[in-house]
Amino acid sequence: MNQPVHAFGEWLSATPLSMQIQAIDWIIPTVQTVRILSIALVTSSAAMVDLHVLGILARSQPLAAIIQRFLPWIWRTLLVSLLSGATLVIGKPGRSLGNPAFILKMCMLAAVLILTLIFQKGITRDERYRESSPPAS
């Protein structure tokens, strides 16, 4: 781990919030459970949209209806995932901050969030599209 990241991790682990998270035994397992469930919900919602785009699921419904149904779930559970992930990093900063896989995961998450925002903006920009988008073929 490089020096600034290590110093930040040391400082973070000494904060009262981090020490409180570390002191209460049930917090980390509970937050991990919530995080796993939120990731499953995000993945399931994204899969529903993908399956519709591929023409496998809900073919009689327009894409706009599918987006309107599942995109709120994606954003809400991403927020839960963000909060639970931040709690885990605050509780055990050394476990995540120095791990190259964690940094790669955060970069990929940022890319997915940007792509989802672009996708959502393109789909929802035109109100007429919501009403007239054809069902998947």
Q: What is the predicted pLDDT for the residue at 99?
A: 86
Domain assignment present for 109: yes
Q: What whole-number distance in Å separates Cα of residue 113 and Cα of residue 101?
A: 18
pTM: 0.76
Burial grade of 67 (CB within 10 A; 0-12, 13-18, 19 or more): buried
pLDDT tier for residue 90 given thresholds of 50, 70 and 90: very high
Domain assignment present for 65: yes
Q: What is the pLDDT of residues 38-80, one digit of tens each?
A: 999 999 998 998 888 888 887 788 888 888 888 889 889 989 9
Count: domains in the chain: 1
Q: Tokens for 60?
A: 């009689």
pLDDT tier for residue 124 given thresholds of 50, 70 and 90: low
Q: What is the predicted pLDDT for the residue at 76?
A: 92
Q: What is the pLDDT of residues 3-38, one digit of tens each?
A: 888 888 889 999 999 999 999 999 999 999 999 999
HEC-encoded secondary structure of 54-94: CCCCCCCCEHHHHHHHHHHHHHHHHHHHHHHHHHHHHHCHH
Q: What is the predicted pLDDT for the residue at 68?
A: 84
Length of the chain: 137
Domain assignment present for 137: no
Q: What is the predicted pLDDT for the residue at 6?
A: 82
- Domain housing 71: 3-132
CA contacts within 13 A on the Cβ side of 61? 15
Q: What is the predicted pLDDT for the residue at 31?
A: 94
Domain assignment present for 46: yes
